[in-house]
A and B are shown apart, each in its own frame.
Chain A
């Protein structure tokens, strides 16, 4: 079966006054129909840029400099821009982080949902209206007929994010790109919104790419995780593989940074230092300067994503990946048992 979306070695560069900011440095990922994948990483790791590159919505000076995007087995990278944009926007929709800015403040939410059915799928006005109400119902908006006429500022954050999801669905995409869709919401609403997305994925065989810096959110909904650091995927694998034994010190440290309410830990575990300056990436592994386990060799070669022995779908870009089982003994604090809670 050909995957719904395949990305190979994607590079994005942003021209800055002195040189180039290499925001995405060779990201590869695959999404199947009905599959949900997660991209985690800290701010500036290139998660959102990657998503925007997929839809051809990069902020102005940024450019895809290398790599290919393969949609249903068709490489769209070489196509003329107009055609490529059409293919990408036909197949994918995006849900944004802040539902208040993602909705047009001066347009009724119903009209915003009905717009794509009406304009792009050329439905009649009443059919598009019916479609919008139906979508609002599907994403769990009570009294959709009444809410149709509301303006974004009249709805709560959770309702607004549902409207955004309804808008994303209105184009009948096969893939939804969600850029931190729950960051602006409180945890109960967050769970509801994630449940809506997950229900739609099952019901419609939608592919989902969920970007977040919240590991708990990702682990609830995604079957596969890509961990990004400084514009690269440094580890990928199933949620179970990553949580049971992270094969990259960054993932390992990230998991330890999740506070465990059951442990009497008084200090949050953090990763010291700053991500590297992407205008001048140092030689060697980009995480090495912050890595507790770095050795001299780490500062010389930047390892590619390598398959972990005996775990076919698990990849790590660390030269020390085989020693992962001992990392816990080498660093003092216990890893909270995330797996049990998911």
Chain B
């Protein structure tokens, strides 16, 4: 009988499947490329734009796409739609991403604390979460923005105050599972300080779901801004943003359908890019 033994090397070796999967992660690559392009467009808006996005030209109002000098036509005030779209990307992506960052951080930290310590702290945090969740998202955001006054600052604040609960719940649930895993026990058994266990050991293990959720949350936030814009509580005019563009274009839906459709498509593409990133991340990091 021959015994094939390769001392040492037989026991480790990087699993070949991980490498293969990393190469094939089409979703993540496509999503990141798409989102990267959007970000690039937003950054390069001053360079790419053909016109000043707020410059009115009533003589050339509502030109069709493809008109000379106006790639995507002009709106009812004669502003160049292409330029407004580019500058709108700046506003919407910035507000969308920024308005997700603080709820993400606040919700994740509170979720970690709530799940790890349990007891009255958990009860307190989760009851606050319940209260916030009891109201429909938009109703609460609109009420808060209304109370705080329109403007990007109020939008950030209102979305943060409402949005953190989702992250808190997601992270808390993951922590409840992770803290009974033996690696958490092992970390406690080796006497590491609690903050270190929480942020070095638990956080990287529980944060994935929150990141995945944040991708769709950015889309939801952009939609919220669009909705707020529609209600006149969004980014104040004349700053171009996709929401107000859709709202302005809506009244011409039967004659100049593209005025509302073009910014709408921009929202769809952003959503698609982020959804692809989210799915790609799950595939990339989920080892189960």
Contacts and interface: CB of A to CB of B under 8 A. Distances in A.
Nearest to A104: B183
B192 interface: yes
A105 B196 contact: no
Contact of A167 (B8, B180, B190, B196): B190
A150 B205 contact: no
B129 to A, nearest CB: 20
Interface stretch (B12-20, B44-52, B79-87, B276-284): B12-20
Contact of B205 (A57, A89, A106): A106
A57 B180 CA distance: 10
A81 B230 CA distance: 57
Interface string A64-103: 0000000000000000000001100110111011100111
A116 interface: yes
B181 A86 contact: no
B41 to A, nearest CB: 34
A97 B205 contact: no
Given A154-B14, A155-B12, A101 B182 contact: yes
Interface stretch (A2-10, A156-164, A276-284): A156-164
A93 B183 contact: no
A322 to B, nearest CB: 42
A57 B188 contact: yes
A86 to B, nearest CB: 6
Contacts of A155: 11-12
Contacts of B188: 55, 57, 89
Contacts of A119: 192-193, 196
Contacts of B68: none
Contacts of A341: none
Contacts of A102: 182-183, 185-186
B198 to A, nearest CB: 13
Contacts of A60: 118
A142 B13 contact: no
B66 interface: no
A159 B187 CA distance: 19
A174 to B, nearest CB: 14
Given A55-B189, A119-B192, A147-B12, A105 B182 contact: no
A116 B188 CA distance: 11
A121 B118 CA distance: 30
A116 B200 CA distance: 13
Contacts of A171: 190-191
B204 interface: yes
Contact of B12 (A55, A105, A107, A156): A156
A154 B12 contact: yes
Nearest to A91: B191
A36 B180 CA distance: 27
B8 A142 contact: yes
B20 to A, nearest CB: 15
In this complex, the interface size class of chain B, counting residues with CB under 8 Å from chain A, is 20 to 34
A115 B189 contact: no
Contacts of B190: 89, 93, 115-116, 120, 167-168, 170-171
Nearest to A60: B118
Given A98-B182, A104-B201, A93 B189 contact: yes
A311 interface: no
Nearest to A111: B200
B287 interface: yes
B136 interface: no
A143 B183 contact: no
A158 B11 contact: yes
Nearest to A160: B11
A36 to B, nearest CB: 19
A59 interface: yes
Given A86-B191, A105-B205, A106-B204, A159 B13 contact: no
Interface in B1-59: 7-8, 10-15
A20 interface: no
A262 B181 CA distance: 40
B201 A107 contact: yes
Interface string A44-69: 00000000100101011000000000
A56 B181 CA distance: 16
Contacts of A94: 185-186, 189
A17 to B, nearest CB: 18
Contacts of B14: 150, 154
Given A116-B192, A147-B12, A150-B12, A57 B118 contact: no
Nearest to A143: B8
A153 interface: yes
Contacts of A86: 191
Given A57-B185, A154-B14, A156-B11, A85 B191 contact: yes
Contacts of A153: 15, 287
A147 B11 CA distance: 11
B191 A105 contact: no
Contacts of B183: 101-105
A120 B191 contact: yes
A188 to B, nearest CB: 11
Interface string B166-210: 000000000000001111011111111100100011001100000
Sort A-B residue pairs by CB-CB distance and give the 5 closest, nearest first: A89-B191, A102-B182, A142-B8, A96-B182, A156-B11
Given A94-B186, A107-B200, A156-B11, 14 more contacts: A57-B188, A89-B190, A89-B191, A90-B191, A93-B189, A96-B182, A104-B187, A106-B204, A116-B190, A116-B192, A143-B8, A153-B287, A154-B13, A156-B12
